[in-house]
Amino acid sequence: MKKNNDELKNNASLANENSVTEKEAKIEEKDIAKSSEEKEVKDSKEKTQKEKKAKRLKKEKEFNPEKNANAFKRGSFSIAFIAIFCAVLVLANILAALIANKYSTTIDVTADRSSKLSAENIDYLKKLNKQTDIKKIEVIVCATKASYTGSEMINYAYNNYQVQESNTPYSYFNQTVRLIEEYPKYANKISVSYRDSQDPSFSDIASTVSSDISYGDILVLCTKEDNSTKTDLLTFKDIYSMQSSSTSSSYTGYYTIAYSNLENALSGSLNKVAMSITKKAGIITQNCDSDSVAYLQDYLKNYDYDYSTVDGNFTLDAIKQYDVLIISKLKNDFSSNSLKILDNYLENGGNLGKSVVYFASQSSPETPNFNMFLEDWGIGTENGVVYESSSYNTYGNAVTPMQTLSENDIVSSLSASTKFYLSTGNVPFKTLYTTSGDRSTNILLQSSSTCLVAPKGTTQKTTFPSSATQSSFPTIILTKDTRTTDDNKEISSSVLAFATSDFVSEDWGSYSSVGNMELAMLSINSASGRNTSLTFNPKITGITGITNPASDAVKVFVRVLFVVVVPILLIAGGVIVWTIRKRR
């Protein structure tokens, strides 16, 4: 019984303890829940406070005048920098295009400056640009630029001249375009344009010249300040020198371009149309056959000579107004009185500045008086006709010898030309002295050394005795009487003699490979005191490395550009970018 009571007590005690424990657990749970709730409330309050603070700071920042101004400055600077940079790039491109069009901006490292004008030519163009009587000079290529440098020009050269030329950036046709476009960069009075010769509107260009214009020809048109115009036309053969592509083992019948004579041809043409000194030429009709120089008259006009015939009596008053007198194919000898008038004309009261141009003829009668006049000027003549004994040096027959230019400064501008110089029935000339007092003789053109003197009228092959002496005969002789004035100025009068009037015949003018008229006008210009000798080396195109051909100046420029200038620009650019980023 007692045991049961004790168990009851123990159970009651355990029950009480459990009850207490449960109560405590409930109290603890309530405390934990309360603590968690308080923490959440606290965290919520802190979060709310942080959000409020962040909003306040943001608001303060947004409305902070100093900070806002700094941010605005930085943003504005960035925008302005980008805008300026873009503007500089655009401006640089525009300036680059303008400079490239107006000035020479390329470096030619080829051995012969094949893509650049020679220094002598550049000097000439700068002088030409200063001529006040010139309004403008137009260089018109009679083809589009794309067709001239493309397959059209290649096909034209092949079909018309049997010239084989490849379509590469280094072709002669590309070189021609590059050289032509250099001209306006040194003379702003010169402009270059391309006109399609097949276009109907081309008729206005074609009407400016008397001769026919072919595809690819180059027309030079000069307009003076008085609106008068002069033109000159350059053909394919004026620009390019051709050589046969045949070999000893085979003959192809085609040609290749040996070199370009563009500089000589174009600058010579510019010089011809831009001449500002008008000369007066008088063509003597008394005792002369003025018709024998009819073809020459068109050339005189084109070279700015104001010419007319001198009719009636041969008097000093009738001829003193002329700068040049032309005497051709004498029908009768001059009288002694006429020769005195001619001497007085050349003396010009001590002022000189006059010239006589004489064209001989084997059909003329004996002219001992006029021969004496020529002898005073160092020019001797023989009866007969120049006969070429070598068939390799003739054209058609023995009395039409091929003639060669002499080596002197007067004809040096033609020395690179491959043209022929031909004439029939040349009177045998010889120089009687090299210098005599103030006078000096110059042989401009001569026959080969295999020539002999045949009787007048010889046309067929002739047999000469073994004792006959072969010799070279001058066919153009220029003698100048040059003196120095008290103020150290040189003045001169001249006598220019051609061995035959056939040299300026229209028959030879129809051949583009014959250079008679070009040489005749150069000789007459020199006799009349015009300096028209322009000589530039012919151009050979091709790929050439920079190692050897580059001049010392080019090498220094390239070295400084890539070793000094480019690295400095890169470093400077890096420093600027770094500074800008650091300030941000």
Average pLDDT over residues 205-210: 76
Confidence category of residue 401, pLDDT binned at 50, 70, 90: very high
- CB-based contacts of 266, cutoff 8 Å, min separation 6: 139, 179, 180, 183, 218, 220, 234
* Bigger pLDDT: 443 vs 110: 443
When mean pLDDT is compared across 14-28, 462-476, 507-521, the lowest value belongs to 14-28
Highest mean pLDDT range out of 60-64, 425-429, 460-464, 563-567?
425-429
Q: How far apart are CA 30 and CA 22, in angstroms?
A: 12
Is residue 175 helix, strand or coil? helix
When mean pLDDT is compared across 75-84, 89-98, 354-363, 553-562, the lowest value belongs to 89-98
* Bigger pLDDT: 48 vs 385: 385
Residue 544 predicted with pLDDT over 50: no
When mean pLDDT is compared across 71-80, 149-158, 280-289, 306-315, the lowest value belongs to 71-80
Q: How many of the other CB atoms lie within 10 Å of CB of 338?
A: 19
Q: What is the pLDDT of residue 251?
A: 47
Average pLDDT over residues 528-538: 72
Average pLDDT, the chain: 82
Q: How far apart are CA 172 and CA 162, in angstroms?
A: 15
Is residue 41 helix, strand or coil? helix
Whether 293 contacts 504, CB under 8 Å: yes
Q: Express each pLDDT in 74-103 by its tens digit.
A: 666 667 666 776 677 667 666 655 555 555
Q: How far apart are CA 150 and CA 171, in angstroms?
A: 10
Q: How far apart are CA 194 and CA 150, in angstroms?
A: 14
Confidence category of residue 548, pLDDT binned at 50, 70, 90: very low
Residue 25 predicted with pLDDT over 50: yes
* Angle separating helix axes 151-161 and 172-180, nearest 10 degrees: 110
**For residue 163, which phi and psi values (nearest 5 degrees)?**
-95, 125
Residue 453 predicted with pLDDT over 50: yes
- Structure tokens belonging to residue 581: 């980023």
Highest mean pLDDT range out of 114-128, 232-246, 269-283, 308-322?
308-322
Average pLDDT over residues 539-554: 54
Q: What is the pLDDT of residue 22?
A: 64
If you search the block for the tokens 């003699």, which residue do you land on?
Answer: 497
Q: What is the pLDDT of residue 571?
A: 80
Torsion angle in degrees (nearest 10) through CA of 440, 444, 445, 446: 30
Average pLDDT over residues 45-60: 70
Is residue 174 helix, strand or coil? helix
398 residue type, one letter: A
Q: What is the pLDDT of residue 2?
A: 53
Q: Express each pLDDT in 105-146 by its tens digit.
A: 454 444 445 668 888 888 889 988 888 889 999 999 999 999
Q: How far apart are CA 416 and CA 514, in angstroms?
A: 14
124 residue type, one letter: Y
Residue 385 predicted with pLDDT over 80: yes
Residue 300 predicted with pLDDT over 60: yes
Q: What is the pLDDT of residue 246?
A: 58
Average pLDDT over residues 344-367: 95
In 120-217, at which residue ranges do the beta strands (DSSP E only) sit?
134-141, 190-194
When mean pLDDT is compared across 59-73, 440-454, 470-484, 530-544, the lowest value belongs to 59-73
If you search the block for the tokens 């024998």, which residue do you land on?
Answer: 292
- Residue 119 parent element (H or E): helix 119-128
Nearest one of 456, 462, 467, 296 to 394, comparing CA atoms: 462
Please name every residue paired with 397 in a beta bridge, in sequence order, or none if there are none.
Answer: 395
Query: DSSP of 282-333, one letter per residue?
Result: EEE-TTB-GGGGHHHHHHHHHTTEEEEEE-SS--HHHHTT-SEEEEESBSSP
Residue 248 predicted with pLDDT over 50: no
Q: What is the pLDDT of residue 26?
A: 65
Q: How far apart are CA 269 and CA 365, in angstroms?
A: 39
Please name every residue paired with 401 in a beta bridge, in sequence order, or none if there are none.
Answer: 394
Average pLDDT over residues 44-64: 67
Confidence category of residue 250, pLDDT binned at 50, 70, 90: very low
